[in-house]
Amino acid sequence: MNCIVIAGGRLDPARTRTWHRHIHRLLKTADLIIAADSGAGHLKKNGVLPHVIVGDLDSIDPDTLNFFKKNKVPVQPYPRRKNRTDMELCLDYAKNRGATHITMLAATGTRLDHTLANVLLLVPLADAGICVRIMDAHNEICLVKDRLELSGNPGDLVSLIPLTATVTGVTLTGLSYPLRDQTLRIGTTLGISNFFSESAAQISIKSGTLLVIRSMD
């Protein structure tokens, strides 16, 4: 099941027409759309009804909340004093309903603490076998636990960042700077600013967790 979770961060739908069309295509093909609190505002602007609104409702505009309630959108409220962010609650909701693919939108922004927390939320989902990514107008972020194939154009930028002390057996093909059975260590920058040399790239590892960031800038 394909799920979209949209948070209250930066969405930038007007950055380019291509990005605007991509957002609508993602929302149109989703089996489950979850709004994390004020993320509902992004959906209202795009004329999309979520399947559910989840969160402590401390940042959603009251008019937006009333609009969706009038349109029979279920709301799953939580107390403001809680031990998990709205995004984590939404991801748990998606996982419990059988999501196999999750795209997180508006999950980055000026709150670096929330951005980093959202990136790290990829880890337990990937450990559970769920294909998960974060997308904004500038980047696509995902994880490699074993093997990943990416499609793109020659010159497209991709960076690899270890999330564990070591990531072993890193092998890259289809990129300008290939690696073969290399070990990447956390706190080093060997994987930063690589480029597609072909229309497809393959990344494989033997152990550890590797963060992959495709930059559209």
In whole angstroms, what is the distance from residue 107 CA to residue 10 CA? 7
Strands 52-55 and 32-36: parallel
Task: State the Cα–Cα distance between residues 205 and 86, nearest whole angstrom.
Answer: 32
Q: Give pLDDT, residue 15.
A: 57
- 78 and 184 together in one domain: no
Residue ending a domain, choose from 107, 137, 167: 137
User: E strand or H helix at 195, and its extent?
Assistant: strand 194-195
Is 201's pLDDT higher than 80?
Answer: yes
- pLDDT bin (cut points 50, 70, 90) of residue 20 is confident
User: Taking all residues of the chain, what is their mean pLDDT, rounded to a whole number?
Assistant: 95
**12 vs 137: CA distance, rounded Å:** 6
Which pLDDT belongs to residue 23? 87
Summarize pLDDT for 78-117 with one digit per residue, the tens: 999 999 999 999 999 999 999 999 999 999 989 999 999 9
CATH code at position 192: 2.60.120.320
Q: Are residues 29 and 94 in the same domain?
A: yes
**Burial state string for 83-97 with b = 16 or more CB within 10 A and e = fewer than 16:** eebbbbbbbebbbee
Give percent of the chain with pLDDT exceeding 90: 89
Return the CATH number at 125: 3.40.50.10240
Q: Which of 102, 137, 172 is the last residue of a domain?
A: 137
> How many alpha carbons lie under 13 Å from residue 201 in its C-beta half-sphere?
27
CA distances from 199 to 88, 133, 136, 151 (A): 34, 20, 22, 6
Between the alpha carbon of residue 30 and those of residues 12, 34, 71, the distances in Å are 20, 10, 19
49 has pLDDT over 80: yes
> Do both 168 and 101 map to the same domain?
no
Q: Which of 82, 104, 137 is the last residue of a domain?
A: 137
In order of 20, 69, 79, 103, 135, the CA distances from 26 in angstroms are 10, 23, 30, 9, 11
- Please give the Cα distance from 71 to 83 (Å, whole number): 30
Domain span at residue 105 reads: 2-137
Give the strand pairing for 179-185 and 166-173.
antiparallel
pTM of the prediction? 0.93
Residue 120: band (very low, low, confident or very high) from pLDDT cuts 50, 70, 90: very high
SS (H, E, C) 47-72: CCCCCEEEECCCCCCHHHHHHHHHCC
Residue 93 has φ and ψ, to the nearest 5°, of: -60, -45
Inside any domain, residue 142: no
With 70 as the cut, is the pLDDT of residue 175 above it? yes
Give 28-43 pLDDT, tens digit per residue: 999 999 999 999 999 9
Alpha-carbon torsion 149, 150, 156, 158, what sign?
Answer: negative
